[in-house]
Amino acid sequence: MKILVTGGAGYIGSHTSAELLQAGYDLVVIDNFSNSAPSALRGIKTITNRDFSFYQGDVTDQSMLDEIFQAHHIDGVIHFAGFKAVGESVQEPLKYYHNNILSTLVLCKTMARYGCKSIVFSSSATVYGNPSRLPITEDFPLSATNPYGSSKLMIENILGDLFISDQTWRIALLRYFNPVGAHKSGLIGENPKGIPNNLMPYIVKAAKGELPQLNVFGDDYETRDGTGIRDYIHVVDLSIGHIKALEKLALGSGIFTYNLGTGKGTSVLEMITAFEKSTGQKVPYRVGKRRPGDIAACYADPGKAERELGWKAELDLEAMCRDAWYFSVKSDQI
């Protein structure tokens, strides 16, 4: 089976590409390096000792997609390519809608034209907005609080309408909670350009002294220690969830939605403690104001993925912290 991975040099894309190769799939990657680097491709090859086809380009580029689908018989697509910074999406909504929506439309139309109707889509728990209760199951109400989240919700609806129009499609919508960590080799991981938006890469840079301190965004939430609670999931567990979703789609047509989380909530202060304990590194921090748009708590009920995909997150918080730190240290050595 040959799988096209869009955004395959990115954080989750590179880890999923490595899992695909190790599971025996053949791989084609397209990436424009807007939020990734060629080093990830080298890391995938070193980890797996396997080669694959790579196209540097944009998923909105019809001619490049035609080139790929004419050169390869693509059995399925995992679609990661998209912008994903919540704050940036508020500042630049048109950039987000154009990139995230148009790339999906061009991709799906091209897939249909070449008879490929199996797609795993990288969605996000952000489509649940501010949940009224926890844990979250897949039938919870959906809403968006920013253009990034709206683009994810729109794409889920587009894929839903596509399935209604042609029920031979095989579609998996994977709603990620908070991906963190890195491959244990230290060869691929999260390497955001500039100042990180997300907690774990910020903790790592603060521990390394690259940033003066972590700003804890509020300690007055209605949570056990006042800081925000999230469902952090190791990126390798998340990647394996994609392999399981592909196996599900190989069984037959349909549209399937799954939460990929651990089912456990961790607060910001608990994450700081876990990081210090598992890495031996101090995390300088101060408590500041809430970040606009943040919610108090969010964590998954991952039972449906466990029942229907035979998938369950295995790696714990210590592994997430240890692997994130090791990747950061190893990146400095390369």
Q: Are 249 and 170 in contact (CB under 8 A)?
A: yes
- Catalytic (active site) residue 148: yes
Q: Under the criterion CB under 6 A, does residue 202 sit at the interface with ligand WQD?
A: yes
Q: Are 172 and 163 in contact (CB under 8 A)?
A: no
State both tokens at 257.
Answer: 């939605």
Query: What value, to the nearest 5°, has the Cα angle with vertex 277 and ends 271 and 280?
Result: 120
Nearer to ligand WQD, 19 or 190 (CB): 190
| Selected binder of ligand WQD within 100, 104, 126, 278 (CB under 6 A) | 126
Q: Under the criterion CB under 6 A, does residue 150 sit at the interface with ligand WQD?
A: no
**Window contacting ligand WQD (CB under 6 A); options: 35-43, 162-170, 182-190, 193-201:** 193-201
Q: Under the criterion CB under 6 A, does residue 81 sit at the interface with ligand WQD?
A: no
Query: Which x/- pattern over 172-191 shows residues binding ligand WQD (rule: CB under 6 A)?
Result: ----x-x-------------
Task: Choose, from 128, 148, 221, 258, the residue flagged as catalytic.
Answer: 148
User: What's the min distance (Å) between Cβ of 305 and ligand WQD?
Assistant: 17
| Selected binder of ligand WQD within 9, 27, 86, 255 (CB under 6 A) | 86
| Selected binder of ligand WQD within 5, 108, 174, 216 (CB under 6 A) | 216
Looking at residues 244 to 303 of the shown chain, list those that interact with ligand WQD (rule: CB under 6 A). 268, 291, 294
Q: Under the criterion CB under 6 A, does residue 198 sit at the interface with ligand WQD?
A: yes
Nearer to ligand WQD, 216 or 255 (CB): 216
User: What's the min distance (Å) between Cβ of 87 and ligand WQD?
Assistant: 9
User: What's the min distance (Å) between Cβ of 124 and ligand WQD?
Assistant: 4
The Cβ of residue 166 has, within 10 Å, a number of other Cβ atoms equal to: 10
Q: Under the criterion CB under 6 A, does residue 197 sit at the interface with ligand WQD?
A: yes
Please report, as ranges, the residues that interact with ligand WQD according to CB under 6 A: 84, 86, 124, 126, 176, 178, 197-199, 202, 214-217, 228, 230, 268, 291, 294
Positions annotated as catalytic residues are 148
